[in-house]
Amino acid sequence: MHLYYPDLFSTLLRRHLHPAAMSLGLPNHGWSDACIDVYEKIECIGAGTYGQVFLASHRDTGEKVALKKIRSLNEIQGLPVTTIREIKVLKAIKHRNVVGLREVIVTNELDMGDLDDDPDADIPAAGGGPVPMDFSCGCIYLVLEYVDHDLTGLLDRQYPFTDVEIKSIMMQLMDVMKYMHATDVIHRDIKCSNLLLTPQHLLKVADFGLARSTLGELPFTNK
């Protein structure tokens, strides 16, 4: 389900987007150009209800990032409410065990190059059919810190965690949960696939799309 909040878009994105991102003025589309081309997509590493996640690298610095591409961006459907939540939360909290949000980039161009990678995309009919709704007004990219592994993948491969490593991961998880709760944020979707690990076993909590504030300051819900 996609929700559209006309006043919310301009307020939220004006306050929370990186300066390099666009000022989103739905429904007038008064966007300036944001250059996603500074990132080179390497491969698709995940897909979900609202879009895809790509491993990418910055063309100038070589830094690896995770590009989370959100499918719908138009005045009818608007942004998924989970995306609004995730941007707001990641801009508000900073912790070594929370995946970092580098920037948010909005484009107003149809990204046809990704249609072949997206099994759920509706490719226009031959001879010039209508542009798919999900790509009709552009895309929004969350540029996130790239972390090598998630706990689900490691467990599926039967990675031989030592007792010390298990204790370290649990201590990090308890520490970041304590921090989030102290800042009145409840993640609400803690599971192995959302617990990322670096090769040094540094834990990173990801995917804040279902997060809520205990103070009621994140009143965005599909319910």
pLDDT single digits (tens) 191-212: 999 999 999 999 999 999 999 9
Structural domain boundaries in the chain: 6-213
pLDDT of residue 217: 53
Domain 6-213 homologous superfamily, CATH: Transferase(Phosphotransferase) domain 1 (1.10.510.10)
pLDDT of residue 76: 62
Residue 189 annotated in active site: yes
Confirm whether pTM is higher than 0.75: no
Q: Residue 13: helix, strand or coil by DSSP?
A: helix
The token pair that represents 116 in the structure block: 């072949």
Which of 51-55, 136-140, 182-186 shows the lowest mean pLDDT across its residues? 136-140
DSSP-derived letter for residue 184 is T
At residue 139 the predicted structure's pLDDT band, cuts being 50, 70 and 90, is confident
* Binding positions for ATP: 68
| Per-residue pLDDT at 52 exceeds 70 | yes
| Mean pLDDT for the stretch of residues 145-160 | 97
* Binding positions: 68
- The residue annotated as part of the active site, out of 111, 122, 175, 189, is 189
Residue 83 makes CB contacts below 8 A (sequence gap 6+) with: 50, 70, 140, 142, 209
| Mean pLDDT for all residues in the chain | 76
